[in-house]
Structure 1
Amino acid sequence: MLIPKTIIPDSARRVADLLAAMGHDKLVVMLPASGKTSAEAAAGLGCSVAEIAKSIVFRRLSDDAAVMVVASGSNRVDEAKVAAIVGALGKADARFVKERIGYAIGGVCPIGHVGKTIMLIDQDLLALDNVWAAAGHPHAVFNLTPQQLVAMTAAPVADVALVTLPNL
């Protein structure tokens, strides 16, 4: 459901303006219900959970830097794999995320951060044709290709998914 630009919340409007400035050809979409979780967003969009590019934020312990992993909605992020790439990690609370990234949890966008963010992109996203990412608000998302996500963020692609063994 597309919402006229005048109704888009300020944080989502900021993302829409940034996307337009980048020449991105897709609009910000406002979901009728929350997209705070990958399952909620997928249900609202009629896509698979895997197609949701969820943003998970950590705090790097050595320097208090924000670390964002953009992962497939069907994957759990393996904190040990991420830490092996960027250094030891701690939890990022809602205040830390808002101050360092610039968005509230549930609407954390992979672009337009207020400060420097260390980023990684889940390699599993590259197997998909299109993904949906949060657009700065729990009800706002935008569509893009995984290649556009990599180009927009300049983030390295990495194996960050937690591998779970089937029950035997």
Structure 2
Amino acid sequence: SKLRDRGYIQGREVVQSGKPNKLIYTLTPEGRTALRHWAARPSTPPSIKDDLLVRLHALDSIDIEPVRTDLMDRLEHHRDRHENYERILKKRFPEGTASGVLDLGNLLLLRLGARHEQMVADFCEEALDALSAMSGKATVVPLDDGKREGKG
């Protein structure tokens, strides 16, 4: 890897039985310096590249049923990911607070992940509701309900 070639990380193999061995990486002093320099630079806002958004933009020119199916699949995917983030948050931060800087970073990342997944699930519900209203098919189960087909 580039990081290893530059001397920023070093890895050690952990032998496991019944599973493939894994590599554990640690930062070298040079890597820690490079990380500090990199982190001091402004971050670049992410761009969204999602072919589903192009399909939604072109709804007047395409068959809507595959888009509806895609939205339902995405909805379930993002609901599942949201539930996973919430499980991790409750397990690692039962009080909802961090005890130090490392914990704070992890708590903030987990909260962002949970909110992102919730927001995308909400968007999928909104899009499905709008498509259903347009075609008269009501098929969306609200996220709060917690009961999905085949999930409980």
Task: State TM-score, norm by structure 2.
Answer: 0.22
Q: Which has the larger radius of gyration?
A: 2
Higher helix share: 2
Q: Which has the higher contact order (CA 8 A, sep 6+)?
A: 1
- Higher strand share goes to which structure? 1
